[in-house]
Amino acid sequence: MAEEKSFKYVIVGGGVAAGYAAREFSKQGLKPGELAIISREPVPPYERPALSKGYINLENKASLPGFYVCAGSGGEKQFPQWYKDNGIELLLDTEIVKADLASKTLVSGTGQVFKYQTLVAATGSSVTRLSDFGVEGADAKNIFYLRELLDADELVTAMNVKANGKAVVVGGGYIGLELSSALKVNNMEVTMVYPEPWCMPRLFTAGIASFYEGFYANKGINIVKGTVAAGFNTNSDGEVTEVILKDGRTLEADIVIVGVGARPIISLFKGQVDEDKGGLKTDAFFRTSVPDVYAVGDIATFPMKLYNEMRRVEHVDHARKSAEQAVKAIKAAEEGNSIPEYDYLPYFYSRAFNLSWQFYGDNVGETVLFGDNDPTSAKPKFGSFWIKDGKLIGAFLEGGNPDENKAIAKAAREQPVVESVEVLAKDGLSFVSNM
């Protein structure tokens, strides 16, 4: 039996939030051996967004250590040596399979026991699988999901083996849109299939989506809407050859990529911690209902002060900021101090082809589309505002420059009064740029 290891602080999970939490711990002051990060991934924390962008671009591939945290926010890259220099124990390839919060004990898949005084849970999300919906044949070879580095490595290998072949992308959300672009850039013939009337319905309005659907179609991507993958045909090697759609049609496929959502990984803590909206319920300092246990990143359901509502956010900006907030709160509590409550402004972004959009705020209420959303324009620049109770509360912008993106963020935070929706539509960006 492996010897028991004890740490003052343990972060379980080694993704974005873990990496930023480690940086904050080191900024606040750490003694050697006080902090351990336990991750089932084989590499130190990295900026996960790179996996669906540079990392799978075969011509111009980003690689590690290029996107170790905190590269994504312009910070120092935390190489393995950084953890050593900071006295942080980085336990990789180590999956925690049991957490007993009452005795402050974690157990790994190989039976190693870890004790902690304070735990930061940062286990992120896992992909929703087609088998979760009962889709048959979804275990065929060359059907891929994308969450971790090893998933991306398998995908890169398959794209090389099936070069110039046919790819079907199941799902019209973030993964669907980013991966379709990457596959096309890698010279594959791409078909997207999703059930909704337009892509990314959880954020996009019909007006926003019509731009991206038109742009993708002009790039030669075939879009099949209003149906789902119901099964797969395979060859004698067990490799996928066709996607069978629910409406009876079939699509030829050398590889299939599935992006049908993600679920927070909270099974370790089930029955021990209060939950809310699918995540671990926290306060504005990311404290859970159990003393000395914090939850950050994708798994935290926290008070979104701006909207006076409990929310869970599956995006990188919040993963970074929630981690920093939790560590500041831990350190302040030790010194008998307090810190301000987390006051988060939602920020989501995506990049595909030569496109780039940002969104800030809340996407509820009436919407106004502005600018040039013609997918054939040489330099499209357009956006949308969301208005609720007479105030601008959300803003989306494709093709904005840094100042314009700052301006939409400021507006979403300050929520200016909108006197006339017609005037707002006509003014577009200048409404927020002049604030």
The residues of the shown chain that bind ligand FDA, judged by CB under 6 A, are: 12-18, 38-41, 48-49, 51-52, 95-96, 122-125, 146-148, 265, 268, 297-298, 314-317, 319, 348-350
- Give the alpha-carbon dihedral of 323, 105, 42, 150, to 10 degrees: -80
297 binds ligand NAD (CB under 6 A): no
Q: Which residue has the tokens 């275990």?
A: 139
Assigned token pair, 210? 């019509």
Judged by CB under 6 A, the stretch of 59-67, 167-175, 236-244, 322-330 that binds ligand NAD is 167-175
Q: How far is the CB of 71 from ligand NAD (least distance, A)?
A: 16
Residue 17 interacting entry, from ligand FDA, ligand NAD, none, C-beta within 5 to 8 Å by type: ligand FDA
Distances (CA, A) of 103 to 100, 114, 116, 272, 409: 6, 11, 9, 12, 44
- The interface with ligand NAD within residues 251-280 (CB under 6 A) comprises 259-262
Nearer Cβ to ligand FDA (301/350): 350
The rounded distance, in Å, linking the Cα atoms of 108 and 104 is 14
Around 303, how many Cα atoms within 13 Å sit in the side-chain half-sphere? 10
Phi and psi dihedrals of 343, rounded to 5? -130, 80
What angle (nearest 5°) sits at the alpha carbon of residue 129, between those of residues 204 and 363? 20
Q: Work out which of 20, 25, 194, 357 binds ligand NAD, going by CB under 6 A.
A: 194
Q: Work out which of 213, 314, 362, 398 binds ligand NAD, going by CB under 6 A.
A: 314
Q: How far is the CB of 46 from ligand FDA (least distance, A)?
A: 8
Residue 106 interacting entry, from ligand FDA, ligand NAD, none, C-beta within 5 to 8 Å by type: none
72 binds ligand NAD (CB under 6 A): no
Judged by CB under 6 A, the stretch of 189-197, 206-214, 278-286, 331-339 that binds ligand NAD is 189-197
Alpha helices in 199-315 (DSSP H): 206-218
133 binds ligand NAD (CB under 6 A): yes
Other residues' Cβ atoms within 10 Å of the Cβ of residue 220: 9
Nearer Cβ to ligand NAD (195/207): 195
The rounded distance, in Å, linking the Cα atoms of 207 and 342 is 33
Residue 95 interacting entry, from ligand FDA, ligand NAD, none, C-beta within 5 to 8 Å by type: ligand FDA
Is-contact 253 138, C-beta < 8 A?
A: no
- Give the alpha-carbon dihedral of 225, 227, 351, 377, to 10 degrees: 0
176 binds ligand NAD (CB under 6 A): yes
The rounded distance, in Å, linking the Cα atoms of 408 and 361 is 9
Is-contact 373 382, C-beta < 8 A?
A: yes
350 binds ligand NAD (CB under 6 A): yes
Q: Which residue is nearest to ligand NAD (CB)?
A: 173
Nearer Cβ to ligand FDA (13/137): 13
Is-contact 343 305, C-beta < 8 A?
A: yes
Cβ burial, residue 116 (10 Å; 0-12/13-18/19+):
buried
User: What character string, x for contact with ligand NAD (CB under 6 A) and - otherwise, covers 2-41?
Assistant: ----------------------------------------
Alpha helices in 105-235 (DSSP H): 149-161, 174-185, 206-218
155 binds ligand NAD (CB under 6 A): no
Nearer Cβ to ligand FDA (14/394): 14
Q: How far is the CB of 128 from ligand FDA (least distance, A)?
A: 12
In three-state secondary structure terms, 203 is: coil
Residues in the interface with ligand NAD (CB under 6 A) total: 26
Residue 51 interacting entry, from ligand FDA, ligand NAD, none, C-beta within 5 to 8 Å by type: ligand FDA
Which one-letter amino acid corresponds to residue 415? Answer: Q
Residue count of the chain, please give it.
435
Nearer Cβ to ligand FDA (51/368): 51
Binding footprint of ligand NAD on the chain (CB under 6 A) = 52, 125, 133, 170-176, 178, 194-196, 201-202, 228-229, 259-262, 314-315, 348, 350
